[in-house]
């Protein structure tokens, strides 16, 4: 049965080119992950706040290396795109930003981010999410980007608000964390906001 509308973004929109390096213009670079990032990635996930707000943990550098290998392959599948957030001068890993749940035909994706413990309080997550959002809307042509975080994660809520993602509501008991089910705030931006 044919659709009555055309895809917002055709298949191949992302995969036809290598994953880009994105600059924030204020000292950060969003770049594809590298195998040598594995020790720093593993270290970031040893932080208690990472364990509190994320549903995955890293038990070894080898496991972190496996994540990176998987993330690099996912660009071709156009369902997830992950970037390391690094200091533009030193290339030190400061965090991660991603597009998840990519639906090219609908022109939608979910923005996700985290900042390493040593990088918190410097606007790293907000600056990275802003750069990724600009790229997704202005260069790729996405129509809608969503962002979710646990309602109790006030720092993540501040990042969402600072980057222009309007709060649309609460998804009750929506994500299972080690300490139980979390209500999740749903924020979104639409192209042109």
- Which pLDDT score, from 0 to 100, does residue 132 have? 98
The owner of tokens 């981010």 is: 113
This prediction's pTM = 0.95
User: pLDDT tens digit string along 11-21?
Assistant: 999 999 999 99
Both tokens of 71, joined, read 């993330």
Question: pLDDT digit string (tens) for 42-91?
Answer: 999 999 988 888 888 899 999 999 999 999 999 999 999 999 999 999 99
- Tens of pLDDT, residue by residue over 127-137, are 999 999 999 99
Closest CA to 193 of 170, 161, 156, 148: 161
From the CB of residue 26, how many other CB atoms can be counted at a distance below 10 Å? 10
How many Cβ atoms from other residues are within 10 Å of residue 17's Cβ? 9
Helix (H) or strand (E) holding 158: helix 154-162
Q: How many CB atoms lie within 10 A of CB 77?
A: 11
2-6, 65-69, 92-96: range with lowest mean pLDDT: 2-6
CA distance 80 to 99: 6
Q: How confident is the model at residue 1 (pLDDT cuts 50, 70, 90)?
A: confident
pLDDT for residue 2: 73
């Amino acid at each position: 049965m044919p659709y009555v509308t055309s895809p917002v973004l055709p298949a191949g929109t992302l995969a036809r080119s290598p994953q880009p390096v994105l600059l924030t213009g204020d000292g950060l670079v969003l770049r594809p992950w590298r195998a040598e990032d594995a020790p720093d990635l593993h270290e970031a996930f040893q932080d208690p706040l990472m364990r509190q707000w994320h549903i995955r943990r890293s038990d070894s550098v080898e496991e972190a290396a496996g994540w990176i290998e998987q993330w690099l392959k996912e660009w071709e599948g156009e369902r997830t795109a992950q970037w390391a957030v690094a200091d533009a001068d030193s290339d030190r890993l400061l965090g991660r930003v991603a597009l998840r749940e990519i639906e090219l035909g609908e022109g939608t994706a979910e923005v996700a981010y985290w900042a390493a413990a040593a990088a918190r309080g410097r606007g790293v997550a907000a600056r990275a999410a802003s750069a990724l959002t600009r790229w997704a809307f202005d260069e790729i042509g996405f129509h809608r980007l969503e962002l979710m975080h646990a309602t109790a994660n006030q720092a993540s809520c501040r990042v969402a608000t600072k980057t222009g993602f309007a709060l649309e509501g609460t998804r009750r008991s929506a994500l299972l964390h080690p300490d139980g089910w979390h209500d999740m705030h749903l924020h979104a931006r639409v192209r042109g906001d």
